[in-house]
């Protein structure tokens, strides 16, 4: 893979990426034995897909008029898919613990002369994949590889990944322990963060991306006016998130998210390009609104046509204009793995 001047690619990386892609396919086969339909490698459970409009703010600061955001006031059609990150389809709460929740945004037919890194079945789309916490849980490829090996050997139970924190493991270094502790802290943060309604919370790209030639961005979507307090139902049904989304979409008020960016110079310290557990302090580097996502209501998210369309959508951070190129090892890994997962689930 070609790299960008701000990235450092270790020699062994392509082989590790191959291994994760191979494990992704094996895990899909194991979870969905024939004749079951093969679903996404992760995020297989959808709460619903909605049609949306994505509009670049008319008053966007000139310094931010880059790539997709080049033309103030530009309007695009979009799709949004809300999901659980969990690798398997199950109840939304597992042992009363919250899981990671996803919001994937696909901005369709992006305008301009700029090339896309990967086209979307022949079309030009800009995808923004987000989760409801600002950091991704895994630092590097060997960790992600080890996690997937553990999932394959232990029927999708990841707890062994954290075993080195409680026991003596031969060959494990202080540095390994530090990294696993960081992952455990991110997972702990996810588990303590309730989501009662997928339309009411803030989502984050949780990784760095290019912003034009020499700046770096992180992105987020947040309900206009801020995230709403999240109070879980007393006795949540296994699909309470899908039910909450469908109920809100049956009402008549549109749902609007601000789409916002943190943008920093590529020569700054502490960007964490090769470590997706990094978060940029929002006090020091505040998010700036650059666009709005409007989901018009009512929409029936429960029809077979909408559900099937939702299954067939393919999101990847590499459906992207060159200006917003995904950066860092976790994003490089994602290129091949998303492709493998989508091909294996036989999307058109
Ligand atoms: C910054 C970190 C990440 C974020 C924010 C993220 C977010 C998401 C979201 C929101 C989806 C659901 C897309 C949809 O609705 O169709 C998704 C799908 C997926 N993610 Fe990630 N993800 C991240 C990292 C990773 C990594 C490191 C891997 C593994 C290499 C991975 C593998 C996948 C796969 C296989 C799918 C399903 C692809 C498909 O079949 O279409 N993700 N991700």
| Rounded Cα–Cα distance for residues 91 and 73 (Å) | 41
- Number of Cβ atoms within 10 Å of the Cβ of 289: 17
Question: Is 7 among the domain residues?
Answer: no
Task: Tell me the residue range of the domain where 214 lies.
Answer: 13-344
Question: Is 3 among the domain residues?
Answer: no
Question: Is 89 among the domain residues?
Answer: yes
* Ligand 1 center from residue 260 Cα (angstroms): 20
* Ligand 1 center from residue 83 Cα (angstroms): 10
Question: Is 5 among the domain residues?
Answer: no
Give the pLDDT confidence score for residue 2 in this predicted structure.
59
Residues at CB less than 6 angstroms from ligand 1: 20, 24, 40-43, 81, 83, 102, 104, 129-131, 136, 144, 205-207, 276, 313-315, 330, 333-334, 337-338, 341-342, 345
How far, rounded to the nearest angstrom, does the alpha carbon of residue 293 sit from its chain's CA centroid? 17
Question: Is 231 among the domain residues?
Answer: yes
* CB 210, CB 324: distance < 8 Å: yes
Question: Is 2 among the domain residues?
Answer: no
Give the pLDDT confidence score for residue 346 in this predicted structure.
79
Question: Is 70 among the domain residues?
Answer: yes
Question: Is 4 among the domain residues?
Answer: no
Tens digit of each residue's pLDDT, the chain (348 residues): 556 778 888 999 999 999 999 999 999 999 999 999 999 999 999 999 999 999 999 999 999 999 999 999 999 999 999 999 999 999 999 888 999 999 999 999 998 889 999 999 999 999 999 999 999 999 889 999 999 999 999 999 998 898 877 777 777 888 989 999 999 999 999 999 999 999 999 999 999 999 999 999 999 999 999 999 999 999 999 999 999 999 999 999 999 999 999 999 999 999 999 998 999 999 999 999 999 999 999 999 999 999 999 999 999 999 999 999 999 999 999 999 999 999 999 776
Q: What is the CATH number of the domain that holds 57?
A: 2.40.180.10
> Model pTM?
0.96
* CB 75, CB 58: distance < 8 Å: no
Number of domains in the chain: 1
Q: Which residues lie closer than 8 Å to 273 by C-beta, 6 or more apart?
A: 6, 7, 208, 216, 327, 328
| Rounded Cα–Cα distance for residues 327 and 320 (Å) | 12
Per-residue model confidence as pLDDT tens digits over 227-281: 999 999 999 999 999 999 999 999 999 999 999 999 999 999 999 999 989 999 9
């Amino acid at each position: 893979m070609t790299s960008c001047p701000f990235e450092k690619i270790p020699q062994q990386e392509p082989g590790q990426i191959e291994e994760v892609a191979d494990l992704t396919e094996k895990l899909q086969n194991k979870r969905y034995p024939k004749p079951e339909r093969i679903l996404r490698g992760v995020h297989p459970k959808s709460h619903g897909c909605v049609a949306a409009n994505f509009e670049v703010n008319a008053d966007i600061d000139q310094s931010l008029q880059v790539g997709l955001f080049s033309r103030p006031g530009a309007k695009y059609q979009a799709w949004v898919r809300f999901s659980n990150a969990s690798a398997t389809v199950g109840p939304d709460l597992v042992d009363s613990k919250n899981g990671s929740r996803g919001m994937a945004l696909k901005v369709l037919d992006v305008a301009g002369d700029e090339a896309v890194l990967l086209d979307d079945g022949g079309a030009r789309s800009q995808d923004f994949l987000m989760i409801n916490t600002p950091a991704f849980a895994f630092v590097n490829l060997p960790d992600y590889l080890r996690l997937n090996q553990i999932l394959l050997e232990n029927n999708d139970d990841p707890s062994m990944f954290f075993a080195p924190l409680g026991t003596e493991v031969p060959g494990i270094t202080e540095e390994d322990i530090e990294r696993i502790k960081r992952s455990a802290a991110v997972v702990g943060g996810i588990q303590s963060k309730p989501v009662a309604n997928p339309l009411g919370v803030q989502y984050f790209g949780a990784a760095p991306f290019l912003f034009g030639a020499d700046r770096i961005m992180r992105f987020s979507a947040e309900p206009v006016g801020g995230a709403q307090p999240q109070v879980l139902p007393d006795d949540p049904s296994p699909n309470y998130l899908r039910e909450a989304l469908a109920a809100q979409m049956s009402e008549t008020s549109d749902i609007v998210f601000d789409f916002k960016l943190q943008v920093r110079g590529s020569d700054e310290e502490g960007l964490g390009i090769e470590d997706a557990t990094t978060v940029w302090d929002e006090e020091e580097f505040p998010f700036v609104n650059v666009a709005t996502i409007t989901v018009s209501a009512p929409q029936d998210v429960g029809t077979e046509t909408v559900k099937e369309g939702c299954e067939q959508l393919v999101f990847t951070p590499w459906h992207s204009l060159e200006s917003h190129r995904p950066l860092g090892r976790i994003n490089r890994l994602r290129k091949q793995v998303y492709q493998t997962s989508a091909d294996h689930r036989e999307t058109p």
